[in-house]
Structure 1
Amino acid sequence: MTEAALDRLACLAGRSWRVSDLPGGLTNRNLHVVTDDGLDLVVRWALGDATLLGIDRDAEAANTALAAEAGVGAEVLEYRPELSLLVISFLRGRSLEDSDFADPGVLQRAADATRRLHAGPRFVNDFDMFARQAAYLRTVRAQGYWLPLGYDDHAAAWADVRRVLTETAPPTVPCNNDLLAANFIDDGTAAWLIDYEYSGNNDPCFELGNTATECNLSVEQVEAYVAAYFGAVTPARLARVRLQALCSEYGWSLWGFIQAAASPIDYDFRGWGLQRYEKAAATFRGPGFRRLLEEATGG
């Protein structure tokens, strides 16, 4: 990112500003820009091949604006697809870490933010992890990318998960679909959600399951999170969230293997993907897998 590119932004025209890097981002470089006249914003510079990863940058920008309308996201100030730049307002607070979810207050605020998003305006696109997993797997095979031995051994079990979750699917809601800890901004009073690259209307339990596995929530924390979101825990809700956590692990692991081969970012994407695959494989092979399928049909 050069100063010349930032100078092309309309929101910075005629202003003096200073810029610093923000941590995080595996498909973006995020810049914190503060102007001398008080404008405080984040510039998201998209990196890598969005096509390989199935990212729709136009949908990302539109859904970011809709999340702000729902009262849970940052305001979109400018979108410049020709520059691969999305400019949003800076949210004051701190990015969460996995360990923060041990605090019941943090967990409750995260659930509240998720519920606000889900109650907001519908997004401009849909998200289906089963379709995305199939697309990612086609990409891996077509490009000859590395895949762990045994990945395809779970195809029949994956089909069973798809059948159960599809037959019992609730109405879809606007979801972020990538709520790892760092995508929660917490100010001590409320939480906010950022990064809508993979957003789309989806099963709300995928959102909860994705957070549960990405934030490494304990069994007890998953139950507390489900209770905080729904108001009560039932065996069917809990099973559905756990199956959607499995979907997150099995599907997103392929994202990691694609990134390992194609991303310009220096990061252990293969290790990232393998960690998620191994969690999924343990669930597929585990003694409780069939019971999860049965419980998820209980309404």
Structure 2
Amino acid sequence: MSEITARNKSVFGDVIANDEINDFLRLVNITRDIFKQGLAVLEIMPGGLTNKNFRAVLEDGTQIAIRLAGKGTANYINRPGEKQNAGQMAFQGIAPEIFYYDEKTGSQIVEYIDAPTMHPADFQTRTEVMEKAGRVMNRYHNSGSTFASTFDPIAKVKEYVSILEEHNYDKRYEGWDRMSDALRRIGEAYAKHPAPQAPCHCDTLAENFMLQEDGTMRVIDWEYSGMTDPYYDCACVCVENPLNEECEKIYFGAYCGGEPTEEQKARLLINKFLVTTHWSTWSLVQICYGKDADFYWEYGRVRAVQACSFLDDPKFEDYLKLISE
């Protein structure tokens, strides 16, 4: 490991906290045991709000990805569920192959997908990306797979609020009361007419899509995955990238296989609100777990502003009534 240490001194000092070093070294040793060879290169990969990710190159040139799961994430992420869900998607060639997974922490060793990391700009400017993202999502939503876990964004927000209360953290974003009321009313609508359920990724950021040279679209990082409303996945694409009206039409049209119905449009807007409410509340939980308060407060504040903007959409009330009937 001399080359790794020499080339990556900053990894330990600047990226990995002292209480994470032992787990990181354990993953490196497990990698050696699995592949029966040493690591020639090890480097930090950019991105990742929750975890720390590394690219490793084995002595024979094979590339793999190592994820060091964020501290405390097992308290609010179903790690055994992620393992099973991602495994099903790997079997279909959508997610990376899993070589090792720690169900207690979420740290893992997986296939490295050799493709450029995508960014929102790719979804905003490249028709191919928009269309392939829509089609691969339609593929896994309609795969017939049953995920081991469920993801209920309304229940998850309530869970986050309980964590905040346990930590006596009472700061909330502007518009919180409006968001809470809308969340309640959507919950009542779903109680009467449950939303459709499908195997979903639930964190469809641009960075979680990988377009390979042969044109195959792959999807990584299934830690928030579960059975839920497939339009939640679609809404996340539209919100997080973010897509303008024209790009959204291309993406959502590819997903729907043509012009979306009024009900599909309604579910997309409702879920845009649920996505932004979920992540704004999640950000407060990160602060409770000791992460950068300034960064996560601003991250969540922006999501709260977005959530309220969807409430201000003139079609919101009509669409909420539509899914209630």
Q: Which has the larger radius of gyration?
A: 2
Gaps of 5+ in 1: none
1:43 and 2:66 equivalent?
yes
Cα pair distance change 1:231/1:14, threshold 3 Å: closer
- The count of aligned residue pairs is 297
Normalization by structure 2: what TM-score? 0.84
Q: Which residue type is aligned with residue 89 of structure 2?
A: A
Q: Which moved more, 1:60-69 or 1:24-33?
A: 60-69
- 2:9 alignment partner in structure 1: none
What are the within-5 Å matches in structure 2 for residues 1-299 of structure 1?
1=21, 4-5=25-26, 6-9=28-31, 10-52=33-75, 54-81=76-103, 85-101=107-123, 102-120=125-143, 121-145=145-169, 146-188=171-213, 189-232=215-258, 233-264=260-291, 268-296=295-323
State how far apart, in whole Å, the 1-side matches of 2:181 and 2:274 are.
14
State how far apart, in whole Å, the 2-side matches of 1:39 and 1:187 are.
17
Question: Is the Cα contact below 8 Å between 1:28 and 1:46 reproduced in 2?
Answer: yes
Q: Which moved more, 1:110-119 or 1:171-180?
A: 110-119
State how far apart, in whole Å, the 2-side matches of 1:44 and 1:224 are.
33
State how far apart, in whole Å, the 2-side matches of 1:246 and 1:263 are.
27
Q: Secondary structure at the match of 1:225?
A: helix
Question: Is the Cα contact below 8 Å between 1:72 and 1:116 reproduced in 2?
Answer: no
Deviations 1:137-172 (A, max 9, x none): 121223122212441233332222223345444541
State how far apart, in whole Å, the 2-side matches of 1:19 and 1:95 are.
18
Q: Which residue type is aligned with residue 97 of structure 1?
A: H
State how far apart, in whole Å, the 2-side matches of 1:155 and 1:285 are.
15
Cα RMSD (Å): 2.2
Q: Secondary structure at the match of 1:124?
A: coil
Gaps of 5+ in 2: 1-20
Question: Is the Cα contact below 8 Å between 2:150 and 2:226 reproduced in 1?
Answer: yes
Deviations 1:110-161 (A, max 9, x none): 1122122223322111111011011111212231222124412333322222
Offset of 1:294 from its aligned partner?
A: 3.3
Question: Is the Cα contact below 8 Å between 1:165 and 1:240 reproduced in 2?
Answer: no
Normalization by structure 1: what TM-score? 0.91
Question: Is the Cα contact below 8 Å between 2:179 and 2:307 reproduced in 1?
Answer: no
